Each structure stands twice: as structure tokens, then as C-alpha cells.
Amino acid sequence: MSNAIFVVNAGSSSIKFQLFSVDGDGECRRLMKGGFDGIGSLPHLFAADGDQTLIDQTWEADEIDGVSDALDEVVKFVRAYSSGDLPIAVGHRVVHGGPDYSAPTIVNEAVLRQLERLVPLAPLHQPNNLAPIRLLLERQPHLPQVACFDTAFHRGHAEIADRYAIPEDLYVEGIRRYGFHGLSYEYIAQSFESLAPELVGKRVIVAHLGSGASMCAMMGGRSVESTMGFTALDGLPMGTRPGQLDAGVILYLVDQKHLGSGALVDLLYKKCGLLGLSGMSNDVRELLASTEPRAKMALDYFTYRISLFAGMLAAAMRGLDGFVFTAGIGEHAPSIREAVIRQMDWLGVELDPDANEQSALRISTRDSKVGCYVIPTDEELMIARHTWRVVTQNVEKSVWELRA
């Protein structure tokens, strides 16, 4: 397993992981994927190689003391699977790179401290993304770790797209629009050549629709505009996040409802979005199955806002050639896709109902002025590719310096 890359995506009560082998040409091949969920309640480690289960083990709640113990069990399993070998590097999804990190980077103590300062900008994601990095730095200090940022893909925006209409000193400090889900968008952009070559070099909107949701305008495979901004609260309504919200609402909640910062974080990250609108669930599958009027209203609001932002992103590119659905909802909910496309017919999108129901690659008619597609995303593969590139470039650089 000398050329293995381990990919980690850690949350508050779960750790998702995948293991990749890398061939001589730098191509990454997935060996297995798994997760450790139920941390703090019913700890459960599972992993599979395709359809073959490799491990499926549970513990009592008090036997696994947080992410630290869970990560120990994951590492123990991966080493056993790899005949005792550690991977050559670990790649991590890190939601926020702030103004200083526009590309994947090897993490040391100094880098980690800088990333920890960004926790207030992504309070649900950043601390959980960074926890395994700190643990591995302490326990395996010589094992290279690479942070891959969800903000990096958007860092090439024009200044006019990244600015807020606020004083210069706040912009310099780093209060600007960053955009997120960049690893997903980058993978989709790279997939055009093999899956939809007619989109290469074109004006494309990609809708990453999952529990977290955003949209990205791409020209020539590069991000030029995004629905998300300074934090992952902006833009589309999400499972439990409100999306676009008048800042005056926050002022009202502080001044009139006397909500402190902790209560605001809890409200905006955990109680809004589809959950807040429906009053019953943040899961689109449950809402689609429900006959409750508020469930229908929540979904109508979701699809309305997607089509609304599509107009904004098309305006940023002064036209539109393609539209791509991806992520959990985008890939698996034909009725959501249909509702969005019906509201986008003014842009020249014509739906092929049969293709949409089958979740085909192209779900628009051949006569449609704008091609519409369903492309599954693969953020973990993107992380593995970045990790291999960064680690090998670092090794080559070190060898060159020694020779010099």
C-alpha cells in the first residue's frame, strides 16, 4: 500500500473515509469507502469494497469517547486492511480556507492555527474538519496531511464579484464572498471532457443540491460567481439553513428578541431552511412523501429560489449554455429537477421527462437551447487527486533542493 491515499471528511458525530491507490500515472482508484457514525450515541464503524462488506462493528456509547477514539478505531482498521502499512498521505476536506488559502496545502502546526481562526465563519464544519488533523499531527507527526478547501475553487473571482458594499478595511480584513462546495464543482468541471464535451469552454451553471446547497456559474471550467458568500449560510435555502436573509432580520432578532450569538448560531444553522419552512423535516425524501401543505410549500420555495438564482448566475455570464444537477438531491430527485427546469423554460431549457425520470446524463431534449445534465459528484476522489499532487510535488521539490 505504498501508494495509498487516505481521505477523511469529519463531522460532529461522524467520520467519512475512503482509501485510494495511485498508479504510476497518478490515477487514483478507490479501494474502499466507509464511515464511523453514531459517535456519542451508538458508535458504528462500517466499510465496504464495492458490494463486499469489510467491517460492520458497533460499540456501547461509553466505549467510544468522541472523535478521538473513533479515529483510533478507523486508523486501526485501515492499517489492518493495508497489512500494517500507513498511507503515504491523508487528505482532508476543510470547508473554509479564508483569504490566505486558495489551493490545497500541507498542514503543519502553523497552518492549523490559521485554519482554527476561521472556526467562527463555519462553526458547524470547520472544528470537525480540523479535529482529525490535530489528532494525526500529535500521533503521526511524520505522516503528510493535506487540507483541501471548499472555498479554493472560487478564489479566482473578479473583485467585483467577491466584494460586499462595506468599508475597505473590512474587505482587507477578509470579509468578502468566498463561495463553497468548491471540491464538488471542481470535480464536475473536470468531468465535462469525458461526460459532456459539448460543455467544455461553455457557460454552465452547476447546482450542488444536498443538505447543504449552492450554485456556481462557470465559464471555461472556472468559477466566476456563486450563490454562497462569507459563510455557508448564504444563497439557497438548505436542509436547516435559511439561505439568503436580509441582515436586518438579524438586527431585529438581536434588538427585539434579545438573541445572543449562541442562540443565533443555533437558529440559523439548525432550525431554518426546509426544516423551518415545513415544520417537520429537513429531508427532501420525507417532504416529497408528505401530504402536509407546509411540506409542499417548503419544496416549492426551494425550487423557486433555485430558478431565481439561475437567472442571477446566467446574468453574470451574459448567457447560458448548460445546467448541471449534482449531489444527493440533484442526482436522485427527478421531481425537484423537473420543478426547477419548468421554471427555467424562459432560458430555453426543455425537459425530456423520460430521461429525467431515469436520471440520465442528459435530461433536456436535443432541441433545447440549454443542455441540462445530471452528473454525480465525487469530492473524495477530488481530494485524493489533490493530495497526491501536493505530496509528490513537495517530494520532488525537496529532492531538487537537496541536489542543488
Number of neighbours of residue 8 by Cβ within 10 angstroms: 22
Q: How far apart are CA 390 and CA 395, in angstroms?
A: 9
Q: Give the pLDDT score at 395.
A: 55
Amino acid 116 reads E
User: Per-residue DSSP letters for 105-120?
Assistant: EE--HHHHHHHHTTGG
Contact between 178 and 96 under an 8 Å Cβ cutoff? The reply is yes
Quick: pLDDT tens for 8-19: 988 766 788 999
Tell me which of 37, 56, 85, 150 is the catalytic residue.
150
- The half-sphere exposure of 51 on its side-chain side, counting CA atoms within 13 A, is 0
Q: How far apart are CA 180 and CA 175, in angstroms?
A: 15
Domain annotation for the chain: domains and CATH numbers: 4-149 (3.30.420.40), 197-379 (3.30.420.40)
Q: What is the 3-state secondary structure (H, E, C) of 160-196?
A: HHHCCCCCHHHHHHCCCCCCCCHHHHHHHHHHHHHHC
Q: How far apart are CA 7 and CA 221, in angstroms?
A: 25
pTM for the model: 0.90
Q: Give the pLDDT score at 72.
A: 86
Higher pLDDT, 300 or 23: 300
User: Per-residue DSSP letters for 323-350?
Assistant: EEEEHHHHHH-HHHHHHHHHHTGGGT--
Q: How far apart are CA 7 and CA 33, in angstroms?
A: 9
Quick: pLDDT tens for 43-74: 899 999 988 999 999 998 888 887 788 888 88
Q: Give the pLDDT score at 396.
A: 47
Q: Give the pLDDT score at 399.
A: 36
Q: How far apart are CA 380 and CA 384, in angstroms?
A: 6
What nine digits make up the cell of 356? 429525467
* DSSP three-state, residue 354: helix
Q: What is the average per-residue pLDDT within 369-385? A: 95
Nearest by Cα to 45 from 76, 20, 86, 19 = 76
Nearest by Cα to 173 from 217, 230, 214 = 230
User: Per-residue DSSP letters for 225-236?
Assistant: EES--SSTTSSS
Nearest by Cα to 152 from 366, 383, 367 = 383
pLDDT exceeds cutoff 50 at 94:
yes
Q: Give the pLDDT score at 63.
A: 86
Q: How far apart are CA 186 and CA 152, in angstroms?
A: 9
What nine digits make up the cell of 83? 497489512
Output DSSP code: residue 87. P
Q: Is 150 an active-site residue?
A: yes
Number of neighbours of residue 102 by Cβ within 10 angstroms: 15
